[in-house]
Amino acid sequence: MLTLPCAMAVAIVPGEADACHESKICVEIPVSAADQPVGDFGVSETVVARGTRVRLVTPGAEGVTDVWLDDEGCFTYESRYRYGLKLQVFPEAFLGVNADVRIRGFDDRPAAVVGIEVSPTVGGTIPWRIDIDYAPAGNADSPLVVHVNADDMADMFGWLIESFYNVDGYAGITGSRDILVHTEIGDAQAALGAYNSGDLIMLGPIARNRKFIVAHEFGHWYQSNWTGLGLGVDYLYEDNGEADPTAAKDADCDFQNATNTEEINDLHGLRSAEYSAEAMSEGYAQFMATLAFNIAVEPEGSGEGEYQYYKEIIVANQPSYADLVDGNYMVSLLGGTLESTVGGRSAWVQNMCPADWNHPLLPESLGEHVSSEIDWMRFFWGFIADPDPSISMFGTPPDLRVVLDLFSAAGTLEAQDQYGTFEVAINNPSNASIFPFAQRFESIAIKNGVKSNE
């Protein structure tokens, strides 16, 4: 079929359709999640299809228009036709303040899904198809808004691009990078629910219906892609029978679930005592998830940082977590008071299980301390957002970029005494220019109990 640009077609076959005109279409993705009402962002029924790939097919000989939507999820096109347009929307987006980050969603599973090494399949993405019965001309100020179908991919892709967009504005990851996200995951990961490795994120049926899980896995991706450092993924202190037979875990900091002890899911939890690096890595991902759906700094937002935890707690097995369940799993990232803990009181491990906090793990590691995800997530949040005068007296809060630069300067995220590793990097004179926030850093660390009290 002969393909003719709009204006040329008008010249050749005048009167056959409208005059060539410009129109604007915006695409929205319906999303749903159990934790949708929590936070400042992602609380409506749709997210904008920012940076998403679309293909418009107009009638006659005009052919197709392939385009990437702008940051508002919109595009303009020229056509002679107002009727009978067909739009394909691919679960594929290019985003990034300072980068080309390509996000692709697959309705399948990676070729090798079990184990540490994962090779994703690379195939086509399946588009959503939208019939547009009528598209007004000259509508730049009030564009036609269309929606893709609500389905598993819409939830997963929608929450992911929203997470990326909201967080990347703080720091702006650089370079050309990929995020591959699959709806189908293997049996081992089906129980786990969510999994992140390199450029691959897999989300099980429950996980993709929780915006804070999607954003959590994305948070791991962001950290590892910024720093090039892998995560410390050894939670063995929690599994104390193997790692340290002498450890007497305090119930407040023990997340083992009696019905499900064999699965990785239960090896660590929001308030469980963990090796410091693991608690930090997970706490950082929780922090990024909160940042994705909250405005961190007053006066635009509350500054509190609302977050809803997602791992199921069976109170009969975990009675010391009853307050978290009663509170609908909500967590305030500024930290709870004794009167209203909102997820658990601040400096959780130090206050609720001091024997764990100071526990000598092994003879050769005396003094290396244990911490928890909730303490680290509040630490990172407080570092960029805490308005407490005892913290803000040390100057204007830094932005997310400083935290990420600190990761790079530390050079490893696998130390058992993670705060000590950061402290060495901060005190290195060659890092003074990237980190003039040492006093704030130490004060917020003490406040949230991630700095050992040796």
> From CA 163, how far away is CA 218, in angstroms rounded?
7
Q: Which long-range contacts (CB under 8 A, 24 or more apart) does 33-39 make?
A: 33/155, 33/159, 33/209, 33/210, 33/211, 34/209, 34/210, 35/210, 35/211, 35/212, 35/308, 35/310, 36/211, 38/212, 38/293, 38/306, 38/307, 38/308, 38/330, 39/290, 39/293, 39/294, 39/306, 39/307
CB of 285 to Zn ion, least distance (A): 5
**Which one, 282 or 304, has the nearer CB to Zn ion?**
282
CB of 286 to Zn ion, least distance (A): 8
Of the candidate spans 62-70, 135-143, 280-288, 424-432, the one that interacts with Zn ion by CB under 5 A turns out to be 280-288
CB of 210 to Zn ion, least distance (A): 13
Coil, helix or strand at residue 333: coil
Q: Can you spell out the DSSP letters for 258-324?
A: TT-TTSGGGT--TT--EEHHHHHHHHHHHHHHHHHTS--STTTS-SS-EEE--S---TTT-GGGHHH
C-beta atoms surrounding 388 within 10 Å = 13
CB of 167 to Zn ion, least distance (A): 15
**Which one, 132 or 377, has the nearer CB to Zn ion?**
377
In 37-187 the beta strands, taken as DSSP E runs, fall at: 46-48, 52-57, 64-68, 74-79, 83-95, 98-106, 128-134, 144-147, 174-182
Residue nearest to Zn ion (CB): 285
> From CA 405, how far away is CA 425, in angstroms rounded?
10
**Which one, 62 or 282, has the nearer CB to Zn ion?**
282
Total residues interacting with Zn ion, rule: CB under 5 A: 2
**Which one, 128 or 293, has the nearer CB to Zn ion?**
293
CB of 364 to Zn ion, least distance (A): 28
C-beta atoms surrounding 385 within 10 Å = 23
> From CA 408, how far away is CA 425, in angstroms rounded?
9
**Which one, 139 or 265, has the nearer CB to Zn ion?**
265
**Which one, 285 or 413, has the nearer CB to Zn ion?**
285
> From CA 358, how far away is CA 349, in angstroms rounded?
9
CB of 69 to Zn ion, least distance (A): 30
**Which one, 288 or 402, has the nearer CB to Zn ion?**
288
**Which one, 274 or 282, has the nearer CB to Zn ion?**
282
For the segment 38-67, give every residue that binds Zn ion (CB under 5 A). none
> From CA 182, how far away is CA 309, in angstroms rounded?
23
Contacts with Zn ion, 240-279, as mask; x by CB under 5 A? ----------------------------------------
Of the candidate spans 69-77, 115-123, 177-185, 282-290, the one that interacts with Zn ion by CB under 5 A turns out to be 282-290
Please classify residue 234 by burial: count the beta carbons closer than 10 Å to its beta carbon, then call 0-12 exposed, 13-18 middle and 19+ buried: middle
**Which one, 282 or 368, has the nearer CB to Zn ion?**
282
Query: Phi and psi (nearest 5°) for 120?
Result: -75, 150
Please classify residue 302 by burial: count the beta carbons closer than 10 Å to its beta carbon, then call 0-12 exposed, 13-18 middle and 19+ buried: middle
**Which one, 75 or 235, has the nearer CB to Zn ion?**
235
> From CA 439, how far away is CA 99, in angstroms rounded?
32
**Which one, 153 or 231, has the nearer CB to Zn ion?**
231
Of the candidate spans 16-24, 285-293, 404-412, 440-448, the one that interacts with Zn ion by CB under 5 A turns out to be 285-293
DSSP element (H, E) containing 331: strand 330-332
CB of 227 to Zn ion, least distance (A): 16
Coil, helix or strand at residue 350: helix
Amino acid at the residue 149: N
203 makes contact with Zn ion (CB under 5 A): no
CB of 212 to Zn ion, least distance (A): 11
CB of 306 to Zn ion, least distance (A): 19
CB of 220 to Zn ion, least distance (A): 6
CB of 77 to Zn ion, least distance (A): 41
Given 132, 181, 285, 296, the residue binding Zn ion (CB under 5 A): 285
Contact residues: Zn ion, CB under 5 A: 282, 285
